[in-house]
A and B are shown apart, each in its own frame.
Chain A
Amino acid sequence: MYNEMFADDRSVRAPYDKVAEWINGAGVDLLRLRQDEAEAIFRKIGITFAVYGEGGDPERLIPFDLIPRVFGASEWRRLSRGIKQRSRALNAFLYDVYHRAEILRAGVIPEELVFQNEAFLPDMIGVDPPGKVYSHIVGVDIVRTDGDRFQVLEDNCRTPSGVSYMLENREIMMRMFPQLFQAGFVEHVDSYPVMLKKTLEEVAPIKCDDDPTVVLLTPGSLNSAYYEHSFLADLMGIELVEPQDLFVENGLCWMRTTRGPHRVDVIYRRIDDTYIDPLTFKADSLLGVPGLFNVYRSGGVTLCSAPGAGVADDKAIYVFVPDMIKFYLGEKPILENVPTWRCAAPDDCKYVLDNLKDLVVKRVHGSGGYGMLIGPHATKKEIEAFRAKIKANPGEFIAQPTLDLSTAPILGDSGVEERHVDFRPYCLVGKDIRLTPGGLTRVALKKGSLVVNSSQGGGVKDTWILAD
């Protein structure tokens, strides 16, 4: 297991020098006091997160751990190249499968994995999104399994959340420990909203002939990520709209304002495909904007991400991302995938069923750490229950080895302790590809746990990229 802060001889690794100095200087008691303060500030500002299906407090706090997670400059350079490479390939793949589907014709990816995928939208075939961009914000979940080994756990091409924590965690740290940042050796993350706005403006639709009006579309204040929606809209200075604020007329999209209708050009939507337009996607849904999809298809408005972008972040497709990189870019993948068995393939399925106790099994379409099996931590009964599920519906599942996630220091009950972490950077794709030096580090706060999802008791940390 790779410990990010300490080498085997307990000496501090170079990127963590400053952190170690700070912890020793301040002392654990003071830091703990500050940790409580940080929580009070989060509560006061209203940075909350609702957990689906758990009931209770709809405005829960995500636990914040004070000790930053650090990447050295050279580590980041490599990560950064790998993330951008992956984002390019994923978008190329999306354009391809909705046009000539060369990658399927070439036999690199089995056709049925795409065409029979629930996330594949036949309505999108032949549609040309501005700049050929489908996924404008790519969240790549990365784990570190050794000093120089980074592996991608999954891609998020639809509407990855959590970027507000990247910004707020830094804000809190700077507010509480300004002296830590004075030397300017940590890269800034506050350019993100500016770059996001720029990215969204770059993909204005063809019918837009003025400065584009960009809005952020949220399902509403009961959504678990509502805080993030309002936060981002605020930082970008754009309207935060709900579906009922929008309507379609004369082939364009409008929002209802106090001065009458106002034209909308680009929609950063934080709602699922199926809730975009009841006329196209879900006739029984009361949500959405009737007719919006037709306006999109005819170049009257841009939807970010594009409908149907989800087919690229499906866990069954994930297996082929390294092949996409070679196929579209002719490059060698910089970031590795985690070895993955697709239960849809009979040989893979047999292996998975024989080794359930050592594997992590996930649903192909699932997200957020719901309904997964972590073999080594599961009881016999849980394993058998999962075995039955896989046998009944093998195509629904993939399996991966239990990864030896790296650990980072946290402030625990007995002082500085170690917990497993992962990392989600947010890559922006418009005319250019942009990446803020930072991201969200999620940490499994339960001792020994490998599940970092905030819905499963995970917490977050500030992430430092050291300047060169």
Chain B
Amino acid sequence: MLSRTAENLYWMGRYMERADATARLIEMGYRMAMLPGSNEMDEWRSVVAASGSAPELAEAKSLSAGEVVGRLLLNQENLSSIRSCLTSARANGRAVRTALTQDMWEALNDGWRQLGQMDAETALRNLPSLLEWTKNRTAAFRGATEGSLLRNDGYFFLRMGGLIERADMTLRLLDVKYYVLLPETDVVGGGRDYHQWTSVLRATSALRAYHHVYKGDYTPWGIADFLILNAIFPRSVSYCYRAIRRFLDDLADLYGERQACQATAAEMVALLDGLRIERLFQSGLHEFISDAIGTTRRLSDEISKAYYF
């Protein structure tokens, strides 16, 4: 496979996943900002911070829903906005049309112009349906991929891009929200914390899944455990890394060569497997998250180096 094709597939996977994760993030901010007693600005600020795409906005003194939605949904200069992600994913797909199936292309191509003419005010007014639409688009693309693409190197690159992006998004959300999970901040108590905790789950579409696994109580430990170490929740760091390792191993088998990226993924999986959440809280949740974000970035670089893109 051409290196350029692999690169385009990898980034297409990342962009589609980022669009999807950003939609979930905005959804969380929207819901949190509506809660009585919430500081609307703080909520939007953490959304912007978790998206990692507009540092100056996260620092801004005042911040409105319109600004955030404009920036994260529509802004073309922000390469991580939903609009930019969908446009870039399509451009990547168009550059490697032959590596996509017709179904995948149609899912990418369908309605991609829709966000082009929209202003922030209109977007804000129709926010829930726009976010729903975004999630549907990315789901359609994922579905088309699963149902039609050959399971060869192209598939591995595409899926790895998506998984690395997903691990990164979950980690960055935790990075922004870890303080609400720390026991020390549990001074106010009551409904407010409950909402903060559930918001973290909500941003990863994990509210109900959490119930199934932990049967009830929201605890900071439970939530951190779920998002970092749970092996069956598809947005947890552990799940993502196991899947990344599997695809990297498949790739190594196919090409008959193991490289630095395979070693990094295996180490990370081993590390996660050996961790207990209580220990993690004792040794420092924040440090762990920062390290994991760094490892994920390094892994991405190692993949592009190993496969010449």
Q: Are B98 and A256 in contact (CB under 8 A)?
A: no
Stretch among B103-111, B128-136, B215-223, B266-274 lining the A interface: B103-111
Q: Out of A221, A231, A257, name the residue touching B95 (CB < 8 Å).
A: A221
Which residues of chain B are within 8 angstroms of A240 by Cβ–Cβ distance? 96-98
In the complex, A244→B3 CA distance in Å? 11
B102, CB-defined interface residue at 8 Å: yes
Given A44-B109, A45-B102, A46-B109, A257 and B1 touching (CB < 8 A)? Answer: yes
In the complex, A233→B5 CA distance in Å? 14
In the complex, A242→B96 CA distance in Å? 11
In the complex, A156→B1 CA distance in Å? 32
Query: Could you tell me the distance in whole angstroms from the C-beta of B53 to the nearest C-beta in chain A?
Result: 25
Which residues of chain A are within 8 angstroms of B307 by Cβ–Cβ distance? 258
Q: Which of under 10, 10 to 19, 20 to 34, or 35 or more describes the interface residues of A?
A: 20 to 34
Could you show 27 A-B contacts with beta carbons less than 8 Å apart? A44-B106, A45-B109, A46-B105, A220-B95, A221-B91, A221-B94, A221-B95, A226-B94, A230-B97, A230-B98, A234-B97, A234-B98, A239-B5, A240-B98, A241-B2, A245-B2, A245-B3, A255-B2, A256-B2, A256-B4, A257-B3, A258-B1, A258-B2, A258-B3, A258-B153, A258-B157, A258-B255
Given A221-B94, A240-B97, A245 and B4 touching (CB < 8 A)? Answer: yes
Task: With CB as the reference atom, state the residue of chain A lying closest to B254.
Answer: A259
Which residues of chain B are within 8 angstroms of A256 by Cβ–Cβ distance? 2-4, 308
A260, CB-defined interface residue at 8 Å: yes
In the complex, A278→B100 CA distance in Å? 32
Which residues of chain B are within 8 angstroms of A226 by Cβ–Cβ distance? 94
Which residues of chain A are within 8 angstroms of B6 by Cβ–Cβ distance? 258
Inter-chain residue pair count (beta carbon < 8 A): 58
In the complex, A221→B99 CA distance in Å? 14
Query: Could you tell me the distance in whole angstroms from the C-beta of B303 to the nearest C-beta in chain A?
Result: 10
Given A220-B95, A234-B97, A258-B308, A242 and B4 touching (CB < 8 A)? Answer: yes
Extra contacts besides A45-B105, A221-B95, A259-B255 (12): CB < 8 Å: A45-B106, A45-B109, A46-B97, A46-B105, A221-B94, A227-B97, A234-B98, A239-B98, A245-B3, A257-B3, A258-B2, A258-B309
Which residues of chain A are within 8 angstroms of B94 by Cβ–Cβ distance? 46, 221, 226, 230
In the complex, A259→B153 CA distance in Å? 10
Which residues of chain B are within 8 angstroms of A233 by Cβ–Cβ distance? 98
Query: Could you tell me the distance in whole angstroms from the C-beta of B255 to the nearest C-beta in chain A?
Result: 5
Query: Could you tell me the distance in whole angstroms from the C-beta of A268 to the nearest C-beta in chain B?
Result: 13
Count of chain B residues with a beta carbon within 8 Å of a chain A beta carbon: 23
In the complex, A226→B96 CA distance in Å? 11
Which residues of chain B are within 8 angstroms of A231 by Cβ–Cβ distance? 97
Query: Could you tell me the distance in whole angstroms from the C-beta of B148 to the nearest C-beta in chain A?
Result: 13
Interface string of B124-158 (1 = CB under 8 A from A): 00000000000000000000000000000100010
Which residues of chain B are within 8 angstroms of A255 by Cβ–Cβ distance? 2
Query: Could you tell me the distance in whole angstroms from the C-beta of A50 to the nearest C-beta in chain B?
Result: 12
In the complex, A245→B1 CA distance in Å? 11
Query: Could you tell me the distance in whole angstroms from the C-beta of A48 to the nearest C-beta in chain B?
Result: 10
In the complex, A259→B5 CA distance in Å? 12
In the complex, A255→B5 CA distance in Å? 12
Which residues of chain B are within 8 angstroms of A239 by Cβ–Cβ distance? 2, 5, 98
In the complex, A226→B93 CA distance in Å? 13
Task: With CB as the reference atom, state the residue of chain A lying closest to B309.
Answer: A258
Q: Kindly identify, within residues 233 to 269 of chain A, every residue whose CB is under 8 Å from any CB belonging to chain B.
A: 233-234, 239-242, 244-245, 255-260
In the complex, A260→B308 CA distance in Å? 7
Which residues of chain A are within 8 angstroms of B309 by Cβ–Cβ distance? 258
Which residues of chain B are within 8 angstroms of A241 by Cβ–Cβ distance? 2
Which residues of chain A are within 8 angstroms of B109 by Cβ–Cβ distance? 44-46
Q: Kindly identify, within residues 58 to 102 of chain B, every residue whose CB is under 8 Å from any CB belonging to chain A.
A: 91, 94-98, 102
Query: Could you tell me the distance in whole angstroms from the C-beta of A131 to the nearest C-beta in chain B?
Result: 27
Which residues of chain B are within 8 angstroms of A46 by Cβ–Cβ distance? 94, 97, 105, 109
In the complex, A46→B106 CA distance in Å? 8
Interface string of B1-36 (1 = CB under 8 A from A): 111111000000000000000000000000000000
Q: Kindly identify, within residues 190 to 214 of chain A, every residue whose CB is under 8 Å from any CB belonging to chain B.
A: none
In the complex, A258→B106 CA distance in Å? 26
Which residues of chain A are within 8 angstroms of B4 by Cβ–Cβ distance? 242, 244-245, 256
